[in-house]
Amino acid sequence: MLSAQVDERAPESVGEPPVRAVPLGVGAGSRGRALRLSRRHAQRAAAIGRGGLLWLIAYAFTLGDASTGTAIAGATLVTVVWLATIHATAPTTRLITPVVGFVGRAAIATAAGFAAVSALSLWTPWLSLGPVEVLAMTGLSFVVLAAWEAVVGRSVAARKRVLVVGASDGGAELVDELALARHCPFEVIGFVDDERGTDRIAGAARFGSIDDLPWVLDVQRPDLVVLAVSRNRPEAFSSLMNGAASGFELLGLPEFHEQAFGRVPIRHLTPAWFMSVLHFYRRPYSQLSKRVFDIVVASIGLALTAPLFPLVYLLVKRSPGPAIFRQTRLGEGGRHFTMIKFRTMRQDAEDGGLPIWAEERDPRITPVGRFLRKTRLDELPQLWNVLRGDMSIVGPRPERPEFLEYLHTAVPYWTKRHLVKPGITGWAQLRRGYTADAEGTADKLSYDLWYLRHRSLLIDLAICAKTMGVLLSGSGSR
């Protein structure tokens, strides 16, 4: 038995922390298997519920003048096709869930289902689904799926039991962060570490050393293992391979942060992480696709907001100084460009000639400028920067070259954000807003690097949608 194997190990040396007998006991193993089985049952129930709701919607739209048997067959066929498209798009939504959320996942599934059902209706006329019926069914399905995914996302079906391997190289910080995170689908069941002297971190128990991993994996049955060691990686990999039969997913510390929080841990990054950004097999968001997206959105934005330009111009001119403010910023590759916007500060905001970060309730901002910043109307001229190719719609916010040397020294990898064009809005801007110090800049960089690795047309669309929500609420302004 497993407990006997543990007891037969060589006695530990004096002063060495003992292997935790309780977590490696039979009771703990039964509990680990029971929790995993419970989650699988919950996942099956969630899948059945999702399919049942889609079937009811499809049945209501396929019934029409058809017989009951034909409607049942049609609804079943539509549901099978729709669920197949949801399953096919699941890997994509899994990677970008921090940005799109439950509503975004439902929107992607609905869009994929709409395309599949539209094609199905063309090949199976007996379904009696015209374009209007397909559109109506799609709209109702989106509402139902969004509500269902929100419920499932907060249930045991979405929770994953996490084992952290290593505490000294960022694992302890991860355990603390997950303990404080709200509505997080990851639950730390414990950690293993060779050097940690304490028995617990934020309530999570230490199960032993890296050599104990095969036993711990067999007993605890985690869904996910986070590898957070740098000095003993070969030993950790060997132990993980010996326990691979337990069935678990493996992620490195940076990759787990990407999935759980939508950012990367700056302090624990290595230059090797950036290989994923330039990897040969990576499917990049092509420059052509990005440029087309930028031109289309900027053109539409300028066309819709053109009537506001004269009004904003007159409002800004109520205070001394030019209405249009020009400032040198850092662009792609660190190249300088002139960014334009409506002036929001006094003309003498930097009278001493020294660059100053904007502060909370900055006294240099004019009353009109405060309104413009709150509504983001001051950034409308940057749409012209996008058309010129200096900026993108989505990307890291461009910084002033005067701060380059300071940020390059104070924030590791800060210049790597110049691998892409700066943007009017961005993932870091949504999550962190404005910053006025190195610590805040490092936090924003963690989100910028996430975008650098995962950027795609879908993510750009999601960020633009979230930006519209911020514009309506007026939050995050300074």
Enclosing domain of residue 59: 36-156
- In the chain, how many domains are there? 3
Looking at 262, 296, 312, which one is the last position of a domain?
262
Pair (99, 224) in one structural domain: no
The answer to whether position 275 is within a domain reads: no
Q: Does residue 164 contact residue 174 with C-beta atoms inside 8 Å?
A: yes
Other CB atoms within 10 Å distance of the CB of residue 75: 21
Pair (146, 202) in one structural domain: no
Residue 184, pLDDT score: 82
The answer to whether position 291 is within a domain reads: yes
The answer to whether position 42 is within a domain reads: yes
Pair (42, 164) in one structural domain: no
On the CB side of 124, CA atoms within 13 Å amount to: 17
The answer to whether position 95 is within a domain reads: yes
Sheet with 224-227: strands ordered across: 200-201, 204-208, 186-192, 160-165, 224-227, 249-252
Pair (321, 469) in one structural domain: yes
Residue (of 133, 130, 151, 152) closest to 57 by Cα position: 133
Pair (316, 461) in one structural domain: yes
The answer to whether position 341 is within a domain reads: yes
Phi-psi region of 433 (alpha: psi -120 to 50; beta: other; left: phi over 0): left
Pair (300, 342) in one structural domain: yes
Other CB atoms within 10 Å distance of the CB of residue 289: 13
Q: What residues are paired with 200 via a beta bridge?
A: 205
Looking at 94, 129, 156, which one is the last position of a domain?
156
The answer to whether position 445 is within a domain reads: yes
Residue 284, pLDDT score: 63
Tens digit of each residue's pLDDT (9 = 90 or more) over 250-262:
998 988 999 889 9
Residue (of 470, 301, 451) closest to 384 by Cα position: 301
Pair (362, 338) in one structural domain: yes
The DSSP H or E segment spanning 131 is: helix 131-153
Q: Rounded distance, CA 350 to CA 368, Å?
A: 18
Pair (364, 231) in one structural domain: no
Residue 196, pLDDT score: 67
Pair (164, 238) in one structural domain: yes
Residue 281, pLDDT score: 52
The b/e string for 89-107 (b: 16+ C-beta within 10 A; e otherwise) is beeebeebbbbbbbbbbbb
Pair (373, 426) in one structural domain: yes
CA distances from 334 to 90, 331, 411 (A): 37, 5, 16
Pair (341, 209) in one structural domain: no
Q: Rounded distance, CA 353 to CA 176, Å?
A: 43
Pair (149, 208) in one structural domain: no
Q: Rounded distance, CA 14 to CA 21, Å?
A: 17
**What's the whole-model pTM score?**
0.83
Tens digit of each residue's pLDDT (9 = 90 or more) over 292-335:
999 999 999 999 999 999 999 999 999 888 999 999 999 999 99
**What is the separation of C-alpha 149 from the centre of its chain, rounded to a whole number of angstroms?**
17
Other CB atoms within 10 Å distance of the CB of residue 418: 19
The answer to whether position 186 is within a domain reads: yes
Residue (of 192, 188, 199) closest to 160 by Cα position: 188
3-state secondary structure (DSSP) of residue 331: coil
The answer to whether position 73 is within a domain reads: yes
Q: Which two tokens stand for residue 246?
A: 């337990």
One-letter identity of residue 54: L
On the CB side of 197, CA atoms within 13 Å amount to: 2
User: From the first residue on, what is the mean pLDDT of each consecutive set of 10 residues in the chain (478 residues)?
Assistant: 36 39 48 72 90 92 76 90 88 81 86 89 80 90 91 85 86 87 85 78 85 88 89 82 86 90 87 76 73 95 94 92 92 94 85 69 84 90 96 94 87 90 94 80 92 90 89 63
Residue 28, pLDDT score: 54
Residue 101, pLDDT score: 84
Residue 13, pLDDT score: 37
3-state secondary structure (DSSP) of residue 187: strand
CATH of the domain at 194: 3.40.50.20
**Matching residue, tokens 């003309």:** 347
